[in-house]
Amino acid sequence: MVEEVKGGSCLCGAVRYEVNGPLRDSMGCHCEQCRKTSGHYVSATAVKKTDLTMLEMRGLKWYQSSVDARRGFCSECGSSLFWDLEGRDLMGIMSGTLDGATGMKTSSHIFVATKGDYYDLEDDLPKHDGYPED
């Protein structure tokens, strides 16, 4: 867990945020939705929603990607930024949108049963067919 104040943004700056709490290590998600929104698999961290402060929201739009989850993106530059599961106290944040060094590492891969066939996962990290057991 990374516990310093971190900033982040989309590519154009129309969405900017600050994290004032610990970030979970990043997870690689290989589900079809993540691959479609990013063009490859997603690397995402998470933070308590109460520790996330929005500094600029003019470009922020939400897409209801399933019955109980939505994805936040910038409507100006198209950056994928957030993943929000209804009823969960954590907000998923795309790791690449954080500014500067993060101090995080990748802890595991999820939804590997539906990963793309055009790449291999050759690291020794844990691999899960769905969400890992909490």
pLDDT of residue 134: 47
Average pLDDT per block of 10 residues along the chain, 134 residues long: 78 97 95 93 96 97 96 97 95 96 94 95 94 69
pTM value is 0.91
6-114 CATH? 2.170.150.70
Backbone angles phi, psi at 96, to 5 degrees: -70, -10
pLDDT of residue 131: 83
The C-alpha angle with vertex 6 and arms to 38 and 16, in degrees rounded to 5, equals: 55
